[in-house]
Structure 1
Amino acid sequence: MDLADVGLADPAVGLLVLRVLVGVPFSLHGFQKLFGWFGGGGIDGTAGWFRSLGFGDGRTAAVMAGGGEVVGGLGLALGLLTPFAAAAMIGTMTTAAFVNNADGGFWSVSKGWELNGYLIVVATAVAITGPGAASLDHVLGLDALWGVLPGLAALVLGVAGGWARWASRGDPPADGG
């Protein structure tokens, strides 16, 4: 399919809207963590927060989380190496669900993991379906990258990586920071 043939009723338009409106805001969270943009804490502030959660000095966790958000979010938005972008998003949200939200149950109103779960589902669905004709994957001829197996591989890799990152942290400091 040539992009010139994409009409407003084409699924590629819907996928583009979904990818951009989920991927860009997701990446902005990474820019907050890494650079302090948009009111974020930057590396130092984010590292202090991760340190309080038991992630050592917090710097590695800040770079991993921020990097996963930037790479995953922009990759999803652009439709570039889609299953890898999805795995980065899934891993980041899996860690967040365990660290920040698991004790609250499912519902966001109780500080639960509901939103983390939705983002995991969106990333997995795009990795399975593919980013559509309006994507860099399509333009670069990388259409073979997505499908059920790559999508499920992104889900398994992301959940396993996120869980491993969560499980490898230590106890939070007794003083909370």
Structure 2
Amino acid sequence: MVIGSLFVGHGAQKLFGWFGGSGLDGTDRVMAATQMYPVRPNSIAAGLTEAGCGALLVAGIATPAAAAGLIGVMTTAIRTVHGKNGPWNSNSGWEYNAVIIAALTALVDSGPGSPSFDAARGRVRSGPGWALGALIAGMAASTLATQLGRRNAPRSGEADEAVPSDAAA
């Protein structure tokens, strides 16, 4: 519930500017800076993935799929922002993202627990195979998203109309 709730908030920061977030315009600027084009659809997709998959984790619904979505977002953050900074969070590195990925993988392995909707319906999918599957699916989705983002990047001299005009600020 903790990880899921925090991701709901993180998604709301991206989408609506709640909880001190920058909203879609600020998220667009980050997407442009990290070569995630087209920026607005990627901003919306990141925010919806975080909020939606976080909500699914809180409720214990489709835990492997929810974890895979969040693993994809965290892997993309490592690939586009944190990877070049080394491991330590104090240097804006990737350690925090890696810990979240590990926690999500462990959650899928252990399952969502008895108070979950999946358990109530007898649909718990857990264990090492499901955990590995969620990890692979999240990483594959990240690879696809980052490659498509770079391929869709504006060429030198082209204007990027999807980034707000105050992006240079």
TM-score range, shorter chain: 0.7 to 0.9
Structure 1: tracts of 5 or more residues without a match = 1-19
Aligned length: 157
- Residue 60 in structure 1 maps to residue 41 in structure 2: yes
Indicate how the Cα distance of structure 1 residues 173 and 33 shifts in structure 2: closer, same or farther if over 3 A, else same.
farther
Partner residue of 1:128?
A: 109
Report the Cα distance in structure 2 between the residues aligned to 1:173 and 1:95, rounded to whole angstroms: 22
- Residue 36 in structure 1 maps to residue 9 in structure 2: no
Report the Cα distance in structure 2 between the residues aligned to 1:79 and 1:159, rounded to whole angstroms: 22
Q: CA deviation at 1:113?
A: 0.5
Partner residue of 1:107?
A: 88
Contact 2:28–2:43, Cα closer than 8 Å, also in 1: yes
Q: CA deviation at 1:56?
A: 2.5
Match of 2:6 among 16, 20, 25: 25
Name the % identity. 36
Indicate how the Cα distance of structure 1 residues 173 and 23 shifts in structure 2: closer, same or farther if over 3 A, else same.
farther
- Cα deviation, 1:63-92, whole Å, max 9, x if unaligned, reads 121111112211112211100110011000
Q: CA deviation at 1:30?
A: 0.4
Partner residue of 2:136?
A: 156
Q: CA deviation at 1:172?
A: 8.2
SS state at 2:30 partner: helix
TM-score relative to the length of structure 1: 0.81
State the one-letter code of the partner of 1:153.
Answer: G
Contact 1:29–1:69, Cα closer than 8 Å, also in 2: yes
How big is the alpha-carbon RMSD for the aligned residues of Structure 1 and Structure 2?
Answer: 2.0
Report the Cα distance in structure 2 between the residues aligned to 1:50 and 1:27, rounded to whole angstroms: 19
